[in-house]
């Protein structure tokens, strides 16, 4: 199954949600691949493995598509049964996909080859408009939009809907919407959530609004130590951080359990 995470706004927690969901599925015995289409490759940082991005300069996604490296070369272990693939330059990749039809065929073939070896393939898509994103959204089996609960986040959601219309992508592809950054003590997220629900009702009424993701401060503090929410090794954490990790893990489990996936 191909699963994409997207929003026409950066900094909404998309990579965090992608990586944590992937980690969650591995706890269920699934083999998961996350392809970082965003060339910032921040996916590796959240697993405490940013150095892996720079260990080699010949094993990016583009090299695999061009058949200059093997699948074994391109897969970077993140955790048990969880692998990542890095991208060198999203803009250049998209330009090549636009100009060279044969390269697009090779790109789709490479994705299909990877898909055959994993239970799930996740795409961490950038907020920019490009041909790579269009191709992957067209082939995605399940799409989740991440919306940060503030004015800019809601605007980003609206721009995402407009992007779908402009590129003839069916709005029905948007299966799930995850509101991120909720806080009971702040008024802004509540106002944004109300606006978001109205946009969903008027534009994508069949989409499922997932349970609220809490303020990302706790998650970010864990990731600074290279620990994700579903990691079993908590030796790097203080007693308080362990307690916070358990709380967030319960919340994320409820969110991901809401998503209907055929195993």
Please compute the mean of the pLDDT values over residues 1-18 and round it to a whole number.
93
Question: 139: pLDDT confidence band, cut at 50, 70 and 90?
Answer: very high
Given a cut of 80, whether residue 158 has pLDDT beyond it is yes
Given a cut of 90, whether residue 214 has pLDDT beyond it is no
Please compute the mean of the pLDDT values over residues 111-117 and round it to a whole number.
96
**Phi (first) and psi of residue 55, to 5 degrees:** -65, -35
Given a cut of 80, whether residue 216 has pLDDT beyond it is no
Please compute the mean of the pLDDT values over residues 215-233 and round it to a whole number.
86
Given a cut of 90, whether residue 32 has pLDDT beyond it is yes
Please compute the mean of the pLDDT values over residues 212-238 and round it to a whole number.
87
Mean pLDDT score of the chain, rounded to an integer? 94
CB count within 10 Å of CB 146 equals 27
Given a cut of 80, whether residue 84 has pLDDT beyond it is yes
Beta bridge partners of 177: 145, 209
Given a cut of 80, whether residue 262 has pLDDT beyond it is no
Given a cut of 90, whether residue 263 has pLDDT beyond it is no
What's the pLDDT at 135? 95
Rounded CA-CA distance 175/164 in Å is 13
Question: 182: pLDDT confidence band, cut at 50, 70 and 90?
Answer: confident
Please compute the mean of the pLDDT values over residues 7-34 and round it to a whole number.
94
What's the pLDDT at 261? 87
- Dihedral angle sign, alpha carbons of residues 195, 200, 202, 205: negative
What's the pLDDT at 75? 98
Specify burial of residue 139 (Cβ count, 10 A radius: 0-12, 13-18, 19+).
Answer: middle
How is residue 78 annotated by DSSP?
Answer: E
CATH numbers and ranges of domains, the chain = 2-216 (3.40.50.300)
What's the pLDDT at 122? 98
Please compute the mean of the pLDDT values over residues 211-224 and round it to a whole number.
83
Given a cut of 90, whether residue 183 has pLDDT beyond it is no
Do the Cβ atoms of 156 and 148 come closer than 8 Å? yes
**Phi (first) and psi of residue 139, to 5 degrees:** -100, -5
Please compute the mean of the pLDDT values over residues 154-183 and round it to a whole number.
94
What's the pLDDT at 218? 78
10 three-class SS: coil
- Dihedral angle sign, alpha carbons of residues 192, 184, 145, 76: positive
Do the Cβ atoms of 124 and 87 come closer than 8 Å? no
Task: Mark out the alpha helices in the chain (DSSP H runs).
Answer: 14-26, 42-46, 52-55, 61-65, 71-74, 90-99, 101-116, 131-139, 151-166, 187-203, 217-223, 239-258
What's the gap between Cα 171 and its chain centre?
Answer: 19
Place of tokens 């900094």: 11
Rounded CA-CA distance 135/131 in Å is 6
CB count within 10 Å of CB 248 equals 20
Q: Please report which helix (H) or strand (E) contains residue 86, including its range.
A: none
What's the pLDDT at 256? 94
What's the pLDDT at 157? 96
pTM > 0.75: yes or no: yes
Given a cut of 90, whether residue 129 has pLDDT beyond it is no
Given a cut of 70, whether residue 77 has pLDDT beyond it is yes
Token digits for 66?
């061009």
Residue-wise pLDDT for 91-102, tens only, equals 999 999 999 999
DSSP secondary structure letters along 160-223: HHHHHHHTT--GGGEEEEEEEEE-TT-HHHHHHHHHHHHHHHHH-TTSEEPPPEEPTHHHHHHH
Please compute the mean of the pLDDT values over residues 21-47 and round it to a whole number.
95
């Amino acid at each position: 199954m191909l699963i994409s995470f997207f929003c026409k706004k950066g900094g909404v927690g998309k990579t965090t949600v992608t990586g944590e969901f992937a980690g969650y599925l591995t706890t269920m015995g699934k083999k998961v691949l996350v392809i970082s289409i965003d060339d910032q490759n921040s996916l590796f940082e959240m697993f405490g493995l940013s150095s892996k991005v720079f260990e080699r300069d010949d094993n990016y996604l583009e090299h695999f598509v061009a058949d200059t490296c093997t699948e074994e070369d391109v897969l970077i272990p993140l955790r048990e049964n969880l692998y990542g693939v890095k991208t060198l330059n999203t803009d250049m990749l998209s330009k090549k996909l636009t100009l060279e039809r044969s390269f697009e065929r090779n790109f789709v073939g490479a994705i299909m080859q990877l898909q055959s070896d994993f239970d799930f393939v996740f795409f961490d898509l950038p907020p920019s408009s490009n041909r790579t994103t269009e191709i992957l959204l067209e082939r995605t089996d399940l799409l989740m939009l991440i919306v940060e609960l503030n004015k800019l986040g809601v605007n980003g959601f609206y721009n995402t809907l407009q992007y779908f219309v402009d590129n003839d992508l069916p709005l029905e592809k948007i299966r799930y919407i995850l509101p991120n950054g909720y806080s009971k003590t702040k008024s802004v997220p509540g106002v944004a959530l109300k606006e978001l629900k109205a946009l969903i009702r008027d534009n994508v009424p069949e989409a499922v609004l997932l349970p609220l993701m809490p303020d990302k401060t706790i998650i970010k503090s864990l990731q600074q130590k290279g620990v994700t929410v579903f990691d079993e090794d908590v030796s790097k954490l203080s007693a308080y951080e362990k307690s916070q990790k358990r709380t967030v893990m319960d919340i994320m489990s409820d969110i991901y359990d809401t998503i209907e996936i055929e195993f």
